[in-house]
Amino acid sequence: MLRNNFINNLLNLKDVFVKNIVNGDDFVEFHVETKKKSHVCPSCGSTTSKVHDYRTQKIKDVPIQNKKT
């Protein structure tokens, strides 16, 4: 847990959980998850915290140590 907090503070990441870091020869990948929040169901209007589906999304950022992120 301490490692995760350090990485979040170092990279200024808020409201995410760092799952994995892949450090390749010419790239760095950060695998993160957002924290689960309650939402309003569009059909019935009730509040729920159930997850309908999951998806993976790639986001490019500025290089770190001359490596693509």
Q: Is residue 46 part of a domain?
A: yes
Give how far the C-alpha of residue 55 lies from the chain's centroid of Cα atoms, to the nearest Å.
Answer: 11
Burial of 69 (0-12, 13-18, 19+ CB in 10 A): middle
- The pLDDT assigned to 27 comes to 92
User: Does position 1 have pLDDT exceeding 50, yes or no?
Assistant: no
Instruction: Tell me, yes or no, if the pTM score tops 0.75.
Output: no
pLDDT tens figures, 17-58 = 888 889 999 998 888 888 778 888 778 888 888 777 777 888
Give the pair of three-digit tokens for residue 40. Answer: 């309003």
CB-CB contact of 4 with 21 (8 Å): no
**Confidence bin at 4 (pLDDT 50/70/90):** low
Question: Number of structural domains, the chain?
Answer: 1
What range defines the domain where residue 33 resides?
6-59
Q: Is residue 44 part of a domain?
A: yes
Q: Is residue 37 part of a domain?
A: yes
Cβ-proximal residues to 34 (8 Å cutoff; 6+ apart), any chain:
15, 16, 17
